[in-house]
Amino acid sequence: MKFVDEAKIYIKAGHGGRGCVSFRREKYVPRGGPDGGDGGKGGDVIFRATEKHRTLLDFKYRQHHVAKNGGHGSGNNRTGKSAADLEIPVPVGTIIKDASTLELLADLSQVGQAYLAASGGIGGKGNAHFATATHQTPKFAQEGMEGEERWILLELKLLADVGIVGFPNAGKSTFIARVSAARPKIADYPFTTLTPHLGVVQHSRDVSFVIADIPGLITGAHTGMGMGIKFLKHIERTSVLLHIIDISAEEQNDAWKNYNIINNELSCYDAALMEKPQIVTLNKIDLPFVREQAKKEVARFKKKGIILYPFSAATGEGVDKIINKLASMIGKKKK
C-alpha cells in the first residue's frame, strides 16, 4: 500500500432546507391561517480518528467531500428532514489545517477523537412563524442558510514511542525487522526505506512500545539533499530517539562525526528534537573491522558523556540491551 502523509481536500457542509409558504385548507375552516413548516438542517462535515486507516491515500483519489442538504419544509407545519452528518475517517495522528491560512484547526491524536470542520446551514423558517395580528397571511418564508465550505490540509504524523534516526544503510530497517513484526525493505544499498514504517516491540508480557523507522538522513538533508527532512515530522511525537551509527563504510568511518551530522540535521528541522533523550548505538559489530573499532568508539563517546551501545542488527548481538534500555526510558516517560 502506498504511504501518503499529506493531502489537500475541499469540504462543504449541507445547506439548510427552505421554509414553506402554505395555508390551512380544511373543510370547515374557510380562511385557515399559515401553516408552512421549517426547513431541515444541512449535514455537518466531521473528521474522526480511526485505527482502520494508516495513510491519507484515499484523499489523493477523492478530494471533494460534500454533505447533503436539509429537506424543505412543507404544509401542516411539517419540518423538513435534517441531513445526516458527513463523517470522514482519518488515521490517528492526523493534523488538520486551514489551507488558506495554515491555521492549526485540530490534532486528532486519539482513537475516536472528532473535529467539526464545517457546520451545516440552519433551515429557513416557514411562513407560520411570521403571522401577526396585523399580518395574518404572510406569503413569504426564509431560505435555508448555506453550509460552510473550505479547503483543508491534512497532515499525518505517526504515533510512536521511539523514532530511529541515522544515515541511509545504517541498519535501521534491519533493526526494526528483528525486534518487531514489521517487514520493511532491506538491501545493501542506501535509501531502501522510502517511507516510514511502524513496528510494535513486545518487551515483556505487560510492556510493549512502538518504533518508527524513517528514511535515512545525509549531510545537507535540511536543504533537500537525499530524501530531505520531510519525514522527520513522524518522530516529533516520539519520547525517545534511537540513533543508529554505522562506520562500516570507508567514507563514513568516523562515529563521532556521523553522530554530529545527524544531530545537526535534526536541529535544523526542529530544535525541539534535540531535547528528546537519545540512545546512541553502533551497528554492525558482526564485521571484524567494526568490532575492533567499537571499543575505541565506546571510550571516545564516554569522554563526551555519552553511552554508546555496540550491537549487530544482523545477528542480534547486543540488541536485548538496547531494547531493555528503551523499555526503561519509555516506562519512566509514561508514568
Domains of the chain: 6-156 (2.70.210.12), 162-334 (3.40.50.300)
Q: State residue 333's pLDDT score.
A: 56
Q: State residue 57's pLDDT score.
A: 86
pLDDT in tens, 216-242: 776 766 666 655 566 788 888 889 999
Give the max Cα distance, the chain.
107
Which of the pair, 69 or 135, is modelled with greater confidence?
69
Secondary element (H or E) of residue 322: helix 319-334
Q: What is the pTM of this model?
A: 0.73
In a 13 Å sphere around the CA of 191, the CA atoms on its Cβ side amount to 8
Q: Would you tell me how many other CB atoms lie within 10 Å of the CB of residue 104?
A: 12
What is the pLDDT averaged over residues 26-42? 85
Which of the pair, 208 or 303, is modelled with greater confidence?
303
The number of residues in the chain equals 335
Cβ(192)–Cβ(171) under 8 Å? Answer: no
What is the pLDDT averaged over residues 177-200? 62
Within the chain, strands assigned E span: 6-12, 45-50, 64-66, 86-91, 94-98, 104-108, 114-118, 149-156, 162-165, 197-202, 208-213, 240-245, 278-282, 308-310
Q: Which three cell numbers stand for residue 285?
A: 559489530
Q: State residue 10's pLDDT score.
A: 98
Q: Which three cell numbers stand for residue 57?
A: 491515500
What is the pLDDT averaged over residues 18-31? 83
Of 12-26, 50-64, 215-229, highest mean pLDDT: 12-26
Separation of alpha carbons 186 and 176, rounded Å? 11
Q: State residue 186's pLDDT score.
A: 45
In a 13 Å sphere around the CA of 9, the CA atoms on its Cβ side amount to 24
What is the pLDDT averaged over residues 193-211? 76
Separation of alpha carbons 166 and 174, rounded Å? 13
Beta bridge partners of residue 280, listed in sequence order: 243, 308
Matching residue, cell 525541539 = 272
What is the pLDDT averaged over residues 96-106? 95
Q: State residue 182's pLDDT score.
A: 59
Q: What percent of the chain has pLDDT over 90?
A: 57
* Short-list 220, 209, 212, 215, CA closest to 194: 215
pLDDT at 189 over 50: no
